[in-house]
Amino acid sequence: MDFELTEEQKILQDTVKKFMDNEVAPIVEECEKKKEMPRDLIKKLIPLGYVGALVPPEYGGLGLDYISLGILMEEAGRTWGALRIMANGPLNLIPYTICVNGTEEQKKRFIPSLLSADKTGFLAITEPNVGSDASGIETRADLQGSHFIVNGTKMWVTNGSTADVGIIFASTDKSKGPGGISAFIVDKEETTYSATNIEKMFGHAMVASELVFEDAKVPKENIFGPEGKGLKIALTTLNEGRHNVAMGSVGIAQACIDASVKYAKERKQFGKPIGSFQLVQKLIVEMVADTMASRLLGYQAAKCLDTGGRCDRFCSVAKLFACEAAFKTASNALQVHGGYGYSKEFPIERYFRDARGAMIPEGTTEIQTLIIGRDVLGMSAIR
């Protein structure tokens, strides 16, 4: 078993780390305040591999391995949670899923502008009454002549109001239940829908939106994958997404460790640096042990995704463990910083909010637990 990164992966890690520290970290707080994700920053991320990392070179992507993608996610998570969220779905999984499931025409039409970051994407499954159980989608898409007429509301859509292109899931045949769910590519230039951003606890620069489709016309040729196979498409990128969230959480946890070690060496009480007290060391050591374990689980999930086969258990364990560990790590970091941990002058309160947020999307902690339980026991406790 080899625990070493390859030379290429080490170079990538080093380059991305420097870019994040020099170009991104200085603008994070201001962008979070303004609730803005600068498009020119996204363009600068292209040469680093953040856009279309998984898309094969024949479609203009980088065709990176998952360990490399994990390195990108860790460094984004360490620096700016909102950027890590942007890098996961809108910049990566959307062009990738179009590449995997789209027709040649759809690939030619949508992938180039997503890879140049002239356009960005969204993926809309969740609805007001549909969360963990995606099989209950209520949005309808009825074929009328050359268009599907879409009616329904999507919730919590990352990048929803700012994206140019999206993938939505709607029922084309209610009588077939989950087997009647189909996917569609929606282009803002040809389909009209309204978008309202949801005020949320974390990642202020990355919007999550409610999208309302009222008799919205989607051209017939924008159906994505075979009719009735939408749920399968929705589920195909989940393992990739879980690995990305896990590695983003490793990044948040690493940021908490770095800040806490620095603070514990500088802050003095009782005439000594607080880092010299055993109980403060215990807080930091717990953070280090959990983060090292999370990183290894993330790499193991990446290895599985790279080699193929069933990765559900690896990806769900990685997401479950890393998200819970990052939240505990952020809580310990807040404790090490005492009252200043709550202050906006230190980044800890942002890490705390970022870590908590990661426990919900791409399947909640409970859903990951039940996926692992089903895999281990061969019995489903999900429904």
Ligand X SMILES: Cc1cc2nc3c(=O)[nH]c(=O)nc-3n(C[C@H](O)[C@H](O)[C@H](O)COP(=O)(O)OP(=O)(O)OC[C@H]3O[C@@H](n4cnc5c(N)ncnc54)[C@H](O)[C@@H]3O)c2cc1C
The site for ligand X (CB under 6 A) is made up of 89, 123-126, 131-132, 156-158, 200, 208, 357, 360-361, 364, 366-367, 370, 382
In which residue are the tokens 């070493």 written?
A: 4
Taking the complex as a whole, how short is the minimal distance between the CB of residue 131 and ligand X, in angstroms? Answer: 2
Nearer to ligand X, 117 or 157 (CB): 157
Taking the complex as a whole, how short is the minimal distance between the CB of residue 158 and ligand X, in angstroms? Answer: 3
In this structure, what token pair is assigned to residue 154?
């999507």
Nearer to ligand X, 90 or 275 (CB): 90
Which residues 6+ apart lie within 8 Å of 350 measured at CB?
A: 32, 81, 202
240 is catalytic: no
Which residues 6+ apart lie within 8 Å of 266 measured at CB?
A: 273
Nearer to ligand X, 61 or 361 (CB): 361
Cα–Cα distance, 96 to 107 (Å, whole number): 10
Nearer to ligand X, 132 or 300 (CB): 132
Taking the complex as a whole, how short is the minimal distance between the CB of residue 200 and ligand X, in angstroms? Answer: 6
Taking the complex as a whole, how short is the minimal distance between the CB of residue 205 and ligand X, in angstroms? Answer: 12
Residue type, 13: Q
Cα–Cα distance, 5 to 7 (Å, whole number): 7
Which residues 6+ apart lie within 8 Å of 235 measured at CB?
A: 134
Taking the complex as a whole, how short is the minimal distance between the CB of residue 208 and ligand X, in angstroms? Answer: 5
Taking the complex as a whole, how short is the minimal distance between the CB of residue 206 and ligand X, in angstroms? Answer: 8
In this structure, what token pair is assigned to residue 148?
């599907």
Nearer to ligand X, 42 or 284 (CB): 42
Cα–Cα distance, 34 to 28 (Å, whole number): 10
Cα–Cα distance, 134 to 275 (Å, whole number): 47
Phi-psi map region of 308: left, alpha, beta (phi>0 left; psi -120 to 50 alpha) = left
Closest-approach residue to ligand X (CB): 131
**Alpha-carbon radius of gyration of the chain:** 21
Cα–Cα distance, 284 to 328 (Å, whole number): 11
Buried/exposed code over 287-307 (b: 16+ C-beta within 10 A; e: otherwise): beebbeebbebbbbbbbbbee
Closest CA to 118 of 102, 85, 95, 101: 95
Closest CA to 41 of 111, 117, 95: 117
Give me the catalytic one of 32, 75, 324, 362: 362
Cα–Cα distance, 223 to 230 (Å, whole number): 10
Nearer to ligand X, 60 or 131 (CB): 131
Nearer to ligand X, 89 or 152 (CB): 89
Taking the complex as a whole, how short is the minimal distance between the CB of residue 113 and ligand X, in angstroms? Answer: 20
Catalytic residues: 362
